[in-house]
Amino acid sequence: MLNRRHFLRDTALTASALAVPSILRAQDNRLVINSFGGAYEEIHRQLVITPFEEMTGTRVEVVTAYSADTLSQLRAQKEAPQFDVAHFSGGLETTAALEGLLSPIEPSELSNHDQMYEFAVAGISKGVGPTYSTAVIGLLYETNQINPAPTSWNDLLREGIGERVLVTDAASNTYGLLGLLMMNHALGGTMEDLTPGLEFVRKLLDNGAVVVSKSPEIQQNFAQGSAWMAAYAQDYAFTLTKAGLPVKFVQPQEGAAFAPITVNLVANRPNRELALKFIDLSIRAEASAGWAEALRYSPTNRTVTLSGEVAEQVVYGEAAARNLVGFDPVVISDKRAGWNEEWKRLLVQ
């Protein structure tokens, strides 16, 4: 159960490693960060923000801002940034790092660095902050209708389910694009050549698959019995399960795409050491496990131990983590307009 007492208890073991000297607290007792609002922000407070305030005596000022808005603010404030720590999802941290808006981090500056999966800290020396949790895009399926459970992306073409397959729009939905890229990857395509993935989607559409653009449409189709399988995110399978729908998530044998959620050190701020303490607390095992328990995001700290239904509902463990596939957000940004045109042409054929 997520509550303040639980997480403060769990973080007590790391307090000595993360404690901030009183001289540092005296320099600046305020840290400015963004979070994503709503229920997410409430959990963020329980897992990281409140424990950090209790342990350091620092007041954390939270600005509710999603990734695109945060990037815009960092650009506008480049000469005098107001954020100390910036959280991103969807790959915009790479853009921010390339523009010099984020500061590189040395592994030695994070006591929890060596507990992280390699993919989660691969870019810190270039300014891309650690991935503290991640959404994973694989297959959702209706357990009462799909037997045996799917094991491959090719199961979307399983005989007899064509018109009950959902394809998420790749032009308007980030998870839809990652699903397309993953299908393409599974079939031997590259980011330079999406032909295998587009041809695969063409076959799905010829079989009667339905294109949706937003996650509520996925829930509606599963609830009405018109959907039995879809390419979408692991955490959304949890949303469907909570709504009483018999839907599970599976990571196909060819791999699943991951969408990083990162915590980043903003460049040109005076309280670097304090911000690093916040980032370090964000990637500890207790926080990583907490995101899995609360929202079914996959843990990126490899020392996390999950049990029961949580372990069954997330991509979890060394072997599963090795089968996660990341796609270069810079290439995606450069090519997305062209891909969108190809996608639109596919849909009207």
Query: What are the structure tokens assigned to 297, written together?
Result: 């995001």
pLDDT of residue 254: 97
Summarize pLDDT for 118-150 with one digit per residue, the tens: 999 999 999 999 999 999 999 999 999 999 999
Residue 213 has pLDDT above 80, yes or no: yes
Q: Which residues of 11-40 are buried (b: 16+ CB within 10 A; e: fewer)?
A: beebeeebebeeebeeebeebbbbbbeeeb
Give 253-271 pLDDT, tens digit per residue. Answer: 999 999 999 999 999 999 9
Task: Please state the rounded mean pLDDT for residues 94-98.
Answer: 96
Q: What is the dihedral of CA 286, 287, 292, 293, to 10 degrees?
A: 70
Q: How confident is the model at residue 22 (pLDDT cuts 50, 70, 90)?
A: very low
Mean pLDDT lowest among 1-15, 16-30, 193-207, 246-260 = 1-15
pLDDT of residue 28: 61
Asked if residues 176 and 259 have their Cβ atoms less than 8 Å apart, the reply is: no
Name the average pLDDT for the chain. 92
pTM: predicted TM-score of the whole model, two decimal places: 0.89
Q: What is the pLDDT of residues 270-323, one digit of tens each?
A: 999 999 999 999 999 999 999 999 999 999 999 999 989 999 999 999 999 999
> 49-75: per-residue pLDDT in tens?
999 999 999 999 999 999 999 999 999
Q: Count CB-CB contacts under 10 A for residue 63.
A: 15
Domains of the chain: 4-134+259-322 (3.40.190.10), 135-258+329-347 (3.40.190.10)
DSSP codes joined into one string, 221-274: HHHHT--SEEEEEHHHHHHHHHTT--EEEE--TT-EEEEEEEEEEBTT-S-HHH
Residue 284 DSSP code: S
